[in-house]
């Protein structure tokens, strides 16, 4: 998104190891995968994911009474255990959307509830318009 200033690295010895400026006309599938199928109250569909003007857009809409949205991830394409992550994110508030930016261990779903062995999920930010009971929570 043109003209925005990039954050400074946190200090000496830090170096950029991965980035995507979304400067093409389509999602870079060497860096990202689109996940489809049911998740919570929505259906993840590839048609909800687009790239243009230096931005990744994940749309949320309702079609035929079904909430539809997109889901992208870098699993199997980029993994790093140490460092820092940053993103510029603009949320909208629509019924059915539950947006998030998170960091997750690639072994989180291994058997057993053992975060020390399997890792965990770090929610950097989550955003919803309504809670699971239907109450507006956008403030």
Per-residue pLDDT of the chain (139 residues; tens, 9 = 90+): 455 667 777 788 888 889 999 999 999 999 999 999 998 878 999 999 999 999 999 998 889 999 898 999 998 899 887 888 888 888 877 766 678 888 888 888 787 788 888 888 888 888 887 777 778 776 6
User: Which of helix, strand or coil describes residue 126?
Assistant: strand
Cβ-contact 85, 14 below 8 angstroms:
no
User: Closest Cα to residue 102, out of 130, 68, 71?
Assistant: 71
Whether the model clears a pTM of 0.85, i.e. scores above it, the answer is no
Q: How many CB atoms lie within 10 A of CB 99?
A: 19
């Amino acid at each position: 998104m043109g003209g925005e200033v990039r954050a400074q690295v946190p200090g000496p010895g830090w170096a950029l190891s991965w980035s995507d400026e979304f400067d093409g006309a389509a999602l870079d599938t060497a860096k990202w995968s689109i996940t489809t199928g049911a998740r919570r109250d929505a259906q993840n569909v590839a048609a909800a994911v687009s790239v243009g003007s230096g931005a990744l857009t994940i749309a949320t809409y309702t079609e035929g009474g079904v909430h539809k949205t997109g889901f992208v991830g870098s699993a199997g394409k980029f993994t790093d255990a140490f460092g820092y992550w940053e993103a510029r994110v603009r949320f909208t508030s629509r019924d059915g959307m539950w947006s998030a930016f998170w960091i997750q261990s690639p072994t989180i779903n291994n058997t057993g509830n053992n975060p020390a062995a399997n890792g965990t999920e770090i929610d950097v930010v989550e955003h919803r318009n309504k809670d699971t009971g239907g109450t507006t929570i956008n403030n």
